Amino acid sequence: MMTGSIRKHDESRPKPIRDRLWWVVSAPSLWALHFLACYITAAIWCEKASHPEQMSFLYALITGYSVVALVGIAAVGWLSYRNFRRGDPPLPYDFDDPQDRTHFIGFTTFLLAALSGIATLFTVLVFVLVGTCD
Question: Using CB under 8 A as the criterion, which residues of the chain lie in contact with another protein when the complex forms?
Answer: 1-4, 6-11, 15, 19-21, 24-25, 28-29, 31-32, 35, 38-39, 42-44, 46-48, 93-96, 98, 100-101, 103-105, 107-108, 111-112, 115-116, 118-119, 122-123, 125-127, 129-134
**Complex with another protein: residue 68 or 114, whichever CB lies closer:** 114
> What is the distance between the alpha carbons of residues 59 and 43, in angstroms, rounded to a whole number?
13
Q: How far apart are CA 57 and CA 19, in angstroms?
A: 40
- Nearest approach, Cβ of residue 70 and another protein (Å): 15
> Cα 87 vs. chain centroid, distance in angstroms?
23
Distance CA 100, CA 110 (A): 15
Nearest-approach distance from CB 64 to another protein, in angstroms: 17
Q: Which of 64, 55, 66 is nearest to 122 (CA)?
A: 66
Q: Which is nearer to another protein, 38 or 70 (CB)?
A: 38
Task: Give min distance, CB of 46 to another protein, in A.
Answer: 4
Q: Give least dist CB 119 to another protein, A.
A: 4
Q: What is the dihedral of CA 46, 52, 53, 59, to 10 degrees?
A: -80
Given a contact cutoff of 8 angstroms between Cβ atoms, the answer to whether 69 and 33 are in contact is yes
